[in-house]
Amino acid sequence: MYVTVKMALVLISMVYLLKRKIAIGYVMLTASAILFIMSTRDLTIGYTAIMGTFRRQGTWEVIIAMYFVMCLEYELRTSGSLDGFMTATRQLFGSDRLLLAFMPALLGLLPSVGGALFSAPLVDNASSSYQLSAEKKTAINYWFRHIWEFSNPIVPALLLASEITVISLNVLIAHLAVYTCVGALLGWLVLLTGRNYHRENTLTKGQSDQVETTKDSYQAVKAILYAIGPIVLNIILVTGFHLSAAVSMALVVGVMVAVFRLRAAQIGEMLKESFHAKLLLGLLAIFFFQQVLSATWSVDEIVGLLRQSGVSPAVLITILTLTVGVLTGQMTSFVAITFPIVNVIAPGNINLVTIGYVMGVVGTMLSPAHLCLVVSLDYFKAGIINSLKPVALMAGIITVLVFILN
């Protein structure tokens, strides 16, 4: 029973601090301190957790990968590639309805904190052909950005899940990728069909003038390749050549430095501006929390308690990941908090790990604390309830599907 009180206090402190908008790094360090004090006062165990964090290869794999992700985002944004891509794809697609899904989905391939803020202006631009409510635009921007949470090899939550469960990233993605396909299909049917789209608009005069700048098909293709190429290359390097996420992202950033012909000063500026200390230290703190969980035997205590409850592992994992996902609203947080437990309940069981991951993602998508939802609501000036209604419907369908398939 004591372990229940201990973990409840840890979780409550996390949720409270996250809702107070405290940086994830400080949240995880606070949680680690509470867990350590309530479990033991043996400083040797604390030292073991600290050294285990710094010596673990996976720790630096994720941190370095995320740093280069931010470098790539900087390159694409400052080079004007994203703006050129918007103009070119509008010309080639000839349909703003496709752009509504494509723009947030493309930028969703490049995970960044609050990244929905980058795609929101593009969605707003593409929606000018239709009479869409602020809530509908919010849902479109929010949903399509996150369909890659199940299959993008540079998503931090996926990397964490793979590291914690010791299941190969390729194997994990192979079992989860179907939910990306389902998410895209559901998004189209629920968000991009209906009477608002019956009159498929051709380009307005302002848009037509914009397209004039990319009438040359070569320039249009070039703009698209500059925006999509590095993202696709990274996915190929990770899944096809089995390179680590850190090495792959470093290579992609290097290739784009050459493509954009960046000078030494520009490279230095990119490296400086892309170093987000709070985010990177936050990842380090997440790994430290995992080590404290292990060093204090807290995970084993929880598993023993859960097994004595007599509830099936699938139900336990579902309740755990869904609840923490809703409470935290952060993909990496739900994985860091719950997957050490999931891994002990179902070590190496890919079906139960799949259920846990999918339900955690569902929970975060329904969370009012999700940063991407918050920035989308703020940008479009939308109401949260009506924005989340279609999201809840699609999340419910995915929930049913994950239990049917596993």
Closest by CA position to 183, among listed 371, 383, 361, 352:
361
pLDDT (0 to 100) of residue 112: 62
pLDDT (0 to 100) of residue 217: 66
What gap in Å lies between CA 255 and CA 208, rounded to an integer? 33
> Do 26 and 17 meet the contact criterion of CB atoms below 8 Å apart?
yes
Q: What residues of the chain score a pLDDT lower than 70?
A: 1, 18-19, 21, 24, 82, 112-115, 117, 198-217, 220, 239, 299, 302-303, 306-307
Q: Which helix (H) or strand (E) holds 356?
A: helix 350-365
Cβ-defined contacts of 99-103 (< 8 Å, 24+): 99/126, 100/126, 100/127, 100/140, 100/144, 100/192, 101/140, 101/144, 101/184, 101/187, 101/188, 101/191, 101/192
Q: Is the pTM of this model over 0.75?
A: no
pLDDT (0 to 100) of residue 40: 84
Q: Tell me the backbone φ, ψ of residue 274, rounded to 5 degrees.
A: -85, -10
Residues in the chain: 406
Q: What is the pLDDT of residues 254-267, one digit of tens each?
A: 999 999 999 999 99
Question: What is the SS3 assignment for 396?
Answer: helix
Supply the DSSP symbol for 214: T
pLDDT (0 to 100) of residue 113: 52
> Do 248 and 234 meet the contact criterion of CB atoms below 8 Å apart?
yes
> Do 69 and 111 meet the contact criterion of CB atoms below 8 Å apart?
yes
Alpha helices in 146-263 (DSSP H): 156-165, 169-191, 205-212, 217-239, 245-260
Please enumerate in sequence order all residues whose Cβ is within 8 A of that of 337, keeping only pairs 6 or more positions apart, or say none: 11, 14, 289, 324, 328
What gap in Å lies between CA 56 and CA 50, rounded to an integer? 10
Q: What is the pLDDT of residues 211-269, one digit of tens each?
A: 444 446 677 677 778 877 887 887 788 767 878 878 888 999 999 999 999 999 999 99
Question: What is the SS3 assignment for 392?
Answer: helix
- CA 165-110-203 angle, to 5 degrees, is 140
Q: What is the pLDDT of residues 131-168, one digit of tens each?
A: 899 999 999 999 999 999 999 887 889 988 998 898 99
Closest by CA position to 160, among listed 52, 59, 250:
59
pLDDT (0 to 100) of residue 257: 94
pLDDT (0 to 100) of residue 5: 84
Q: How many helices (H) and strands (E) does the chain have?
A: 21, 0
Provide the token pair at 101: 């899904």
